[in-house]
Amino acid sequence: MKGTTLAEAILRRTAVEHRTGLARSTIYDWMKRGLFPKPVALGARLVGWRESDIQAWLAAREPKAL
């Protein structure tokens, strides 16, 4: 499908908390320390995270098989 752009899913904070098992305070602390993906601005006071960024972050944290 050349020329077709698929919109990427954006997750709100509660969905990110549910998927990662992290609390709000941990998410923002880890973002500040560079340990968690930054959100994208959706409005003046509204942010969300790209689903692909969260999936990649989770995959990177999975234990590697020997």
C-beta separation of 31 from 38 below 8 A: yes
Please indicate, yes or no, if residue 2 is contained in any of the structural domains: no
Angstrom distance (rounded) from CA 49 to CA 57: 11
Please indicate, yes or no, if residue 28 is contained in any of the structural domains: yes
Run of H or E residues at 50: strand 47-50
Question: Which residues span the domain enclosing 26?
Answer: 10-61
Domains in the chain, number: 1
Please indicate, yes or no, if residue 3 is contained in any of the structural domains: no
pLDDT in tens, 7-64: 889 999 999 999 999 999 999 999 999 999 999 999 999 999 999 999 999 999 988 7
C-beta separation of 55 from 16 below 8 A: no
Verdict on whether the full-model pTM lies above 0.85: no
Angstrom distance (rounded) from CA 2 to CA 61: 33
